[in-house]
Structure 1
Amino acid sequence: MENSTKIFGIRTVIEAVQSGKNIDKIYIQKGLSGHLFKELEQLLSRNQYNVSYVPPEKLNKLAKGNHQGVVATISPVSFMSIEDLVEKAFSNTPTPLFLLLDQITDARNFGAMIRTAECCGVNGIIIPEKGAAPVNADTVKTSAGAVFNIPLCKVNHIKDALYFLQSSDVQVVAATEKTDDTIYDIDFKKASAVIMGNEAKGVSNSILKAANKRAKLPMFGTIESLNVSVACGAFLYEAVRQRLKG
């Protein structure tokens, strides 16, 4: 699985970009130059791609062979547009449930959240083009294959998705400790979207300000926070509990 989702070589990556492949991330060697590299740079400048400039040692670990300073990972799944995702969700239920991931960077956390979301009947997961964990072998394995059973969507900015959801009468609930409200104060029976934030920083301030609601999990121990995938499960299952009860 892991080898089959990687491509390398400048020309190969150029052709993948031009053919519209679902490229998850592109790793480029620092200081790379030359005619082909400039052609790749021009292509990337016209599109939104998750690009990292790395030392050659990183590339050597990613790919065995003449990678020419460029390695890309191809996502094993396809992504929907936000418009198609929301339209499909509302065609299935008047009260869809979405999950937005704001800069989740750990592939295993990502996979665990996908697995929980699929089990909870979430109608779609929305992630940003840049700064998100890739859909790689670790993601697929940790999700127990759920990544193939739930719609995924990539957007340029999470805030764009937030505004689109709100315009579609979906309440957006941000998971944060910066509130007095707990998840038990939120009405999840209506169309809702839960936003989970970065493992270290949480949900970004601009997203918190734009969300309709903020909610936290009550904490009684000495540890101040839960792993983000565990917290995500608590939020989603509170939504499930309310909907079963209601």
Structure 2
Amino acid sequence: MSDTTQIYGIRAVIEAIKAGEPLDKVFIQKGLKGPLSRELEDLLRRSGIPTSYVPLQKINKLTQNNHQGVVGTISPVSFLSLEELTDQVMAQKKDPLFLLLDGISDVRNFGAIIRTAECSGVDGIIIPKKGSAPITGDTVKTSAGAVFRIPIAKTDHIKDAVFYLKASGISIVAATEKTNHLLYDVDLKGPTGIIMGAEDTGISPSILKEADQLAKLPLLGEISSLNVSVACGVFLYEAVRQRVL
């Protein structure tokens, strides 16, 4: 947590929210009671800031300071809104490439994906406000600093991003084994958004239904799936191959 700014103490976190500080996540000790804790929880609900209720031991691991059962973290990077990212990229690129991450929860996978996305020319990454891995020191390290070089937007739901991108003329390709279509048969040369799903459950069914195309990788061994960061790399570099050659 040393690479992520911390705010600790109930009153301090409340004032940070009221001041508009870009809190990435707030950890609250389970069973915390009192008027201040209720005020904090109300603010968190209204602001949509991701919140985790955890044991005291977890809070103590996050900080040795007088935390009063509450620790907030501020990401080392700034996030754009979905509209800001899309409008910014579409004004600059004819055939942009977006990457949408539906619930990637492991910070190292997240960092590896960001690194590959930057190297492969992705114009922007879109993640949900809730259920996504935070950007921690491990994320920054695994990304080799790429997290500071590629714009990242947060949206309430990935489905919202799918609708918005499609309305902007972006073709949505979902990476899933639930299809007979191989990645290599999908056209990735035009304006494209590629969706990668969570490590354990993949892309949610409601989002799959909204994708323009579904695509899978051929798996020739006995293991039924690839690590999501590896699969993401294959998808992105197929887009590079099609766009460069």
Q: Which bracket does the TM-score occupy, shorter chain normalised?
A: over 0.9
- Which residue number corresponds to residue 23 of structure 2? 23
- Which residue number corresponds to residue 106 of structure 2? 106
Identical-pair percentage: 60
- Which residue number corresponds to residue 166 of structure 2? 166
Alpha-carbon offset, residue 153 of structure 1: 0.3
8 Å contact 2:124–2:152 — kept in the other structure? Answer: yes
Alignment of 1:63-142 (within 5 A): 63-142=63-142
1:182 corresponds to 2:161: no
- Which residue number corresponds to residue 54 of structure 2? 54
Q: Which whole-Å CA distance do the structure 1 matches of 2:79 and 2:4 have between them?
A: 18
Alpha-carbon offset, residue 70 of structure 1: 0.6
Match of 2:165, SS state, is helix
Deviations 1:151-181 (A, max 9, x none): 0000000100110000001011110000001
Tell me the amino acid that sits aligned with residue 71 of structure 1. V
Q: Which whole-Å CA distance do the structure 2 matches of 1:100 and 1:72 have between them?
A: 26
151 and 3 in structure 1: CA distance in 2 versus 1, 3 angstrom threshold: closer
Match of 2:194, SS state, is strand
Match of 1:207, SS state, is helix
8 Å contact 2:105–2:132 — kept in the other structure? Answer: yes
Tell me the amino acid that sits aligned with residue 110 of structure 1. F
State the TM-score, normalized to the length of structure 2.
Answer: 0.98
Match of 1:25, SS state, is strand
State the TM-score, normalized to the length of structure 1.
Answer: 0.97
- Which residue number corresponds to residue 202 of structure 1? 202
Two-structure CA RMSD over aligned residues (Å): 1.0
Match of 1:210, SS state, is coil
78 and 3 in structure 1: CA distance in 2 versus 1, 3 angstrom threshold: closer
8 Å contact 2:3–2:76 — kept in the other structure? Answer: no
Alpha-carbon offset, residue 4 of structure 1: 4.6
Match of 1:201, SS state, is coil
Q: Which whole-Å CA distance do the structure 1 matches of 2:158 and 2:45 have between them?
A: 20
Alpha-carbon offset, residue 3 of structure 1: 5.4
Q: Which whole-Å CA distance do the structure 2 matches of 1:97 and 1:179 have between them?
A: 22
Alpha-carbon offset, residue 212 of structure 1: 0.7
Tell me the amino acid that sits aligned with residue 17 of structure 1. I
Match of 2:47, SS state, is coil
1:232 corresponds to 2:229: no
8 Å contact 1:99–1:122 — kept in the other structure? Answer: yes
Tell me the amino acid that sits aligned with residue 240 of structure 2. V
Q: Which whole-Å CA distance do the structure 2 matches of 1:55 and 1:48 have between them?
A: 22
- Which residue number corresponds to residue 35 of structure 1? 35
Match of 2:209, SS state, is helix
Tell me the amino acid that sits aligned with residue 88 of structure 2. K
Alpha-carbon offset, residue 238 of structure 1: 0.2
Q: Which whole-Å CA distance do the structure 2 matches of 1:116 and 1:61 have between them?
A: 31
Q: Which whole-Å CA distance do the structure 1 matches of 2:4 and 2:205 have between them?
A: 38
Tell me the amino acid that sits aligned with residue 231 of structure 1. A
Tell me the amino acid that sits aligned with residue 167 of structure 2. S
- Stretches of structure 2 that go unaligned for 5 or more consecutive residues are none
Alpha-carbon offset, residue 11 of structure 1: 1.1
8 Å contact 2:103–2:131 — kept in the other structure? Answer: yes
